[in-house]
Amino acid sequence: MPQHIKLKRGFTINLAGKPEKTVSDAPPSDTYALKPTDFLGMIRPKVSVNEGDIVKAGAPVLFDRKLEAVKYCAPVSGEVVEIKRGEKRKLLEIKILADKEIVYEEYKQYSISDLIALGREEAQEQMLQGGVWPQLIQRPYGIVANPTDTPKDIFISTFDTSPLAPNYDILLKGQGNFFSAGVEVLKKFTEGKIHIGVDAKAEVSSVFSEAKGVVTTKFSGPHPAGNVGVHIHHVSPISKGEIVWTIDPYGVVQIGKLFLKGVYDTAKTVCLAGSEVSKPQYYQTHSGACIDKIVEGKIEHRNVRYISGNVLTGEKIESTGYLGFYNHLISVIPEGDEYEFLGWMKPTTDKLSFHRALGLLSFLNSSKKEYVLNSNMKGEERAFVQTGIYEKVLPMDILPEYLLKAIMAEDYDEMETLGLYEVIEEDMALCEFIDVSKHDIQGIIRQGINLLRET
Amino acid sequence: MNALRKLLDQQKPLFEKGGKLEKFYYAFEAGETFLFTPNSTGGKHGTHIHDAIDLKRMMITVVIAMVPALLFGIYNVGHTHFLAVGELAEATFLDKILIGSIAVLPIVIVSYTAGGLVEVVFSIIRRHPINEGFLVSGMLIAIVMPPTLPLWQVALAAIFAVVIAKEVFGGTGMNVLNVAMTARAFLYFAYPGDMSGDVWYYLGDKQYADGFSGATPLGLAAEAVAVEGSQSVAATLAGFQDGLFTFWNMTVGLIPGSIGSTSFIAVMIGAIIIIATGVGSWKIILSGFIGVYAMGLILNLAGANEYMSMPPHYHFVMGGVAFGIVFMATDPVSAAHTEMGKWVYGFLIGVITVIIRVLNPAYPEGIMLAVLFMNVFAPLIDFYVVEANKKRRLQRATV
């Protein structure tokens, strides 16, 4: 029997615009992009192609000069049409005009039985060249894993509890064999265990149940129960000097495909959801797709915000922007750039609140009520005043207020001892949502992580 | 509302950078954000949706929780006025409210005005937004004063508290001491004649009725220590001036005292509001009362004099203990910040209050000094809670 961990702390945000369980083919996008900004640990990105070059899907186009072994590959085949840079020549996007038929860079193919006998070095070499390595994320810091490390354990969360989250059963339908193959490859990288966190409330999907030699733990409770960071904290917490790796189930499937099919296959199912989408559902596309064709004709209003990822941790993009490397969700919510008369005082049941202060009557609604929330800040930034609230949405033995203050004071010892090794932005996103003082908590966490990495 | 919004939009450039009234930007901003929630949205990264709460809503919730105490205070100041001058039988409800309002409202207005002005001046000089914290402090300062306090002293106390207890530390959220308690302590030590003794009955231009004494329950209880062979405190209180200080009367709050702190019932209504809304910590409130009761019991065991032998629950309804625990101790900034720390912090406030009341002959009321004392120790309590957390984490470290 798998261990069942029941989490009490957290808050599930029930947004309107959940997807139906149908999957359609999205009209193919013209352009696809690889965004170095998606890779948080990347310090000195370097493009290895020029505008006008023709590339195959799975051909290396980018690397980090601090971690040269890891190659970032083209998601589709075609012509490199633009290498977009921002201020101080910061590399923003490598855009590829896609071929109608994708041509793949070919890598060595293996059978399942080959994989069992495969050695770490050989597997690692193929993963580094074949574009799937960046799916491995290192904790602490939430950065792309370093191939020279050996992690204590590897963690995979098979469910997502964030608002409008897609269902992995649908995202990975029929790809159980690739998932099992991916897990088989991952086993070579750790002497510890491969941990899989599953949703205790749902039946374990056949995609995951076929994988052998993994340790399954059930989790139940409100968001962030699906966050891999929370799983790590409860199963095998990270201390100073320890490294664990995490990987998204889609990444595991990609690894499986690289070895079983011999190609870097970036086909992915994405979810288009949110209150502003006329018919929220799933679409077939490829990693890094321009979202214009996917959202075209499906958005009900004009003044909306497109987010690659979920509303808590995603990135705001344009209607012609590109899907992030790690995202399977495009959220569309109303842009809240409006003034509201006495908005801070009006009694309402329509605005969602974790708190019960004056006039915030959303707690009277049924837990099934769905909310339409816009991007307004609902107040101004202030000093820390309310205490003891962050803990209520962070199911970890961490004192968030003290951790945040340690980062703001740039106190390295305190950051370490108060648990900065255990969290990344997504774990603290709910703290930012419920924050009375409207701090950029995720920004502060990344600032702290960057400080620790420098030392 | 569009017209109002338009008017603000027209005036806004005057206050923005380069405008004629640039210096007063934060004063303008305070007014603007009071009327309209700003149109600011989340950035490119970070959460794109936000909870509907902000500091304004949180602070106004505390103010609302204090309204029962304030309204009862207004009534009670009128009630005790007529009682003291011997005209209670003729006074109507409206008469009491009228007299109470004459005494109390100027104090509230002066407290808000004086403290608010300091806030505005600091926001202009230091270029920070005007803090909502004063919505609460302004009311608290007024409510813990005796109704007879000269208005200039109210103003002085409010200014002193905002400058010394808050702004020198960086404003709301940074202060070490509770602002309202600092205001009261300032007057208590600077103008003791106006803060203690015979100051709890608002007489207006009238005199005490013949034979009426201006004593308070705490004063009577303290006297019981000095007189050998006196009867029990409960009996003394119950027999005083036709049952003025019976336990029930003290619970209702129809007794002399600081404006808003006499009624245990009104304060408890406020407690329910701040606990239900989560803006005040129930842990501090509960542990505070437990602390008072526990120390009361311990003194019962010692029983060296009549005051020590007083039933512990009398402490809840005498003086400002309930008000202090519910509204002063729970100030989130000056209280302990950790959840474990809140238990210790509240408990010690209760204990120290009773110690000061019963064992220290100089100060009949203990809650003010207990809260200020524990404000200073709150960071130390938190320090040990945080250390324990770090220790747990270090125990599993391998390096």
pLDDT digits (tens, 9 = 90+) for A169-211: 999 999 999 999 999 999 999 999 999 999 999 988 889 999 9
The interface residues of chain B toward chain A in range 117-176, judged by CB-CB distance below 8 A, are: 129, 131-133, 170-174
* Count of A-B CB contacts under 8 Å: 230
Residue B33 confidence class, pLDDT cut points 50, 70, 90: confident
* Cα B318 from Cα A274, distance rounded (Å): 57
pLDDT of residue B393: 86
Residue B395: closest CA among chain A residues belongs to which residue? A239
Cβ contacts (< 8 Å) between A337 and chain B: which residues? 39-41
Q: Are A295 and A332 in contact (CB under 8 A)?
A: yes
Residue B47's identity, in one-letter code, is T
CB nearest to A239's CB, from B33, B49, B398 = B398
* Cα A36 from Cα A275, distance rounded (Å): 30
| A87 contact B CB<8A | no
Name the E strands within chain B.
36-37
| C-alpha separations of B295 from A448, B40, B282, B368, B374 in Å | 45, 51, 20, 17, 16
**Non-local CB neighbours of B366 within 8 Å, separated by 6+ positions:** B321, B352, B353, B354, B355, B356, B357, B360
Cβ contact A240–B399 (<8 Å): yes
Q: Are A267 and A324 in contact (CB under 8 A)?
A: no
Cβ contact B51–A433 (<8 Å): yes
pTM for the full predicted model? 0.94
* Cα B61 from Cα A359, distance rounded (Å): 9
Residue B397 confidence class, pLDDT cut points 50, 70, 90: low
Cβ contacts (< 8 Å) between A385 and chain B: which residues? 55, 58, 133, 172-173, 332-333
Estimate to the nearest angstrom the gap between the alpha carbon of A380 and the chain centroid: 28
pLDDT of residue B83: 95
Measure in Å the smallest separation between the Cα of B265 and chain A Cα atoms: 21
| B241 contact A CB<8A | no
| pLDDT of A450 above 90 | yes
Phi, psi of B369 (to 5 degrees): -70, -35
pLDDT of residue B52: 94
Q: What is the mean pLDDT of chain B?
A: 93
Pick from B399, B181, B64: which is nearest to A358 by CA?
B64
Cβ contacts (< 8 Å) between A343 and chain B: which residues? 36-37
| C-alpha separations of A230 from A201, A218, A452, B391 in Å | 17, 12, 21, 20
* Cα A308 from Cα A270, distance rounded (Å): 10
| pLDDT of A305 above 80 | yes
Mean pLDDT of A358-377: 93
Cβ contact A360–B54 (<8 Å): no
pLDDT of residue B222: 87
pLDDT of residue B78: 97
Residue B171: closest CA among chain A residues belongs to which residue? A383
* Cα A147 from Cα A241, distance rounded (Å): 16
- Candidates B36, B47, B281: best to mutate against A (most CBs of A within 10 A) is B47
ipTM: 0.94
| pLDDT of B226 above 80 | no
| pLDDT of B398 above 60 | no
Per cent of chain B over pLDDT 90 is: 71
**DSSP code per residue over B15-61:** HSTTSTTGGGHHHHHHHHHHHEE---B--SSS-SS--S--HHHHHHH
Which two three-digit tokens encode residue A127? 């993963």
| C-alpha separations of A291 from B290, B317, B325 in Å | 60, 66, 56
pLDDT of residue B399: 53
The interface residues of chain B toward chain A in range 369-398, judged by CB-CB distance below 8 A, are: 385-386, 389-390, 392-394, 396-398
pLDDT of residue B173: 86
| B37 contact A CB<8A | yes
Helices (H) and strands (E) in chain A, counts: 12, 21
Per-residue pLDDT tens over the stretch B94-137: 999 999 999 999 999 999 999 999 999 998 888 888 888 888 99
Cβ contact B57–A360 (<8 Å): yes
Per-residue pLDDT tens over the stretch A133-150: 999 999 999 999 999 999
| B56 contact A CB<8A | yes
- Candidates B49, B63, B384: best to mutate against A (most CBs of A within 10 A) is B49
Cβ contact A437–B171 (<8 Å): no
Residue A338: closest CA among chain B residues belongs to which residue? B39
Cβ contacts (< 8 Å) between A391 and chain B: which residues? 339
Q: What is the mean pLDDT of chain A?
A: 95
A55: enclosing H helix or E strand:
strand A54-55
Residue A155 confidence class, pLDDT cut points 50, 70, 90: very high
Measure in Å the smallest separation between the Cα of A415 and chain B Cα atoms: 10
pLDDT of residue A341: 92
Estimate to the nearest angstrom the gap between the alpha carbon of A319 and the chain centroid: 20
Pick from B124, B135, B134, B179: which is nearest to B157 by CA?
B179
DSSP A333: E
Mean pLDDT of B339-346: 97
Region of poorest pLDDT, from A323-337, A342-356, B337-351:
A342-356
| Distance separating the N- and C-terminal Cα atoms of chain B | 62
| A436 contact B CB<8A | yes
Q: Are A277 and A17 in contact (CB under 8 A)?
A: yes
Cβ contact B46–A402 (<8 Å): no
- Pairing verdict, β A23-25 and A281-286: parallel
Per-residue pLDDT tens over the stretch A45-86: 999 999 999 999 999 999 999 999 999 999 999 999 999 999
| pLDDT of A294 above 60 | yes
Measure in Å the smallest separation between the Cα of B245 and chain A Cα atoms: 36
| pLDDT of B163 above 80 | yes
Residue B196 confidence class, pLDDT cut points 50, 70, 90: confident
| A23 contact B CB<8A | no
Region of poorest pLDDT, from A229-238, B14-23, B281-290, B368-377:
B14-23
Q: Are A324 and A35 in contact (CB under 8 A)?
A: yes
Q: Are A96 and A55 in contact (CB under 8 A)?
A: yes
Residue A346: closest CA among chain B residues belongs to which residue? B57
